[in-house]
Copies of this chain bind each other. A is one copy, B any other.
Amino acid sequence: MSNPQTSSSSAPERGFSDEEFAGRTERCQTAMAEAGISALMVCTEPEVRYFTGFHTPFWQSPTRPWFTVIPASGKPIAIIPGIGGALMRSTWIDDVRTWSSPQPEDDGVTLLVDCLRELTAEGGRVGVPMGPETHLRMPLNDVDKVRAAVGDFVDATDIIVNLRMVKSEAEIAKHRHICRLVSNAFDELPNLLSVGMTERQAFAAFRGEILRQGADDVPYLVGATGPGGIDDIIRQPSDRPIDAGDLLIFDTGSTYDGYFSDFDRNFAFSHAEQDAFDAYRAVWEATEAGLEAAKPGATTTEIFTAMNEVLKANGSLGNDVGRMGHGLGMQVTEWPSHTASDDTVIQENMVLTLEPGLLWAPGKAMVHEENIVVRAHGAELLSRRAAPEMVVI
């Protein structure tokens, strides 16, 4: 495996070329043709952004639905609230259909149905992602109205998953950049944190440092401290002061140009028991096994097993996470999952996390996470590899 520090440290360009969007759309259309789908409808932020480049935090507002439809050939069609018209017209998309929203009695439904009918008039079905890790960001009443008008949807989850799981070099460059910035911020942590600070102050210092390094945003930041160990890794900070002998975990999903990093680090304050050092070493070694296993042609299940064998040999009591890593992209977690039964075949240019978790004593969890891109020869680190021994602050 190779190391990211050798790459240039300048920030990659924002956005993508029109060719990138055209390639995504054409690959989608090839898969649609095989599945008998002549109109594929998406309506979540990453899916709309993937095909159009439309990028705004306006999705924070749940009020208005946004639709993009991929026809059998030609560019995607955007069917969106008027407030987004100017921004969508600045993308590579030509056909932008807007309505004045919010309009509860018909919030884009007629425009969407008209478009879907038009595209399926000569045959072919309407495809929609309906499977694992998807949802429709529109009222269920409106889903029902659209189905009543255009017929049952074909499940297009696999088409979207297969497209998004494999990243382009331009996407990988964004991942590499945000992983470098967050690695820098983690490296600064021993200078920022000290016994006596509250968890909340520690969170604020870390968030501030990630932004100072140049990240656009820190949408995901969880962590906890605890005497000698940590029982819950998805918590928000409390006003608990950090004490000597505490362990700390920070896990962050930060973004650059809409692409995520997602890795964590564990630290001790002042001192730690040997069993905590041993648990740290076990998840670090498990990650080594994952790095070895992550090659094109292997499966997510083989990656899981490689890591799990190391954890079992180190006395794992199991864990509640349900997997040992996942895909990474425009969302902090994406398909696939490293589980005992996922069995997704690893392909070149997948961006993945390796995340072995060890319950080393009741109520004491140690979770370790790195980010990689899979190359022909195997794993290439995007995050800067954690120290093999737990750092004591």
Residues of B within 8 A of A138 (CB): 135
* Alpha-carbon distance between A131 and B332 when the two chains are bound, in angstroms: 28
**A162 in contact (CB, < 8 A):** no
**A86 in contact (CB, < 8 A):** yes
**A113 in contact (CB, < 8 A):** no
Residues of B within 8 A of A130 (CB): 139-141
**A155 in contact (CB, < 8 A):** yes
* Alpha-carbon distance between A136 and B143 when the two chains are bound, in angstroms: 10
**A190 in contact (CB, < 8 A):** no
Q: In this complex, what residue of B is CB-closest to A260? A: B60
Contact of A101 among B139, B157, B218, B322 (CB under 8 A): B322
Residues of B within 8 A of A232 (CB): 86-87
Contact of A131 among B136, B141, B217, B218 (CB under 8 A): B141
Q: In this complex, what residue of B is CB-closest to A214? A: B204
Q: In this complex, what residue of B is CB-closest to A363? A: B86
What bracket does the count of chain A residues touching chain B fall in? 35 or more
A333 with B62: CB separation less than 8 A: yes
Contact with B along A39-72 (1 / 0, CB 8 A): 0000000000000000111101111100000000
Residues of B within 8 A of A102 (CB): 132-133, 322-323, 337, 339
Contact with B along A203-222 (1 / 0, CB 8 A): 01001100110000111111
Q: How far is the CB of A363 from chain B (nearest CB, A)?
A: 9
**A331 in contact (CB, < 8 A):** yes
B61 with A331: CB separation less than 8 A: yes
Residues of B within 8 A of A63 (CB): 132-133, 326, 333, 337
Q: In this complex, what residue of B is CB-closest to A56? A: B234
Residues of B within 8 A of A320 (CB): 81-83, 85-86, 98, 100
Query: Counting chain B CB atoms within 10 Å of each CB, which of A62, A138, A207, A233 scores highest?
Result: A62
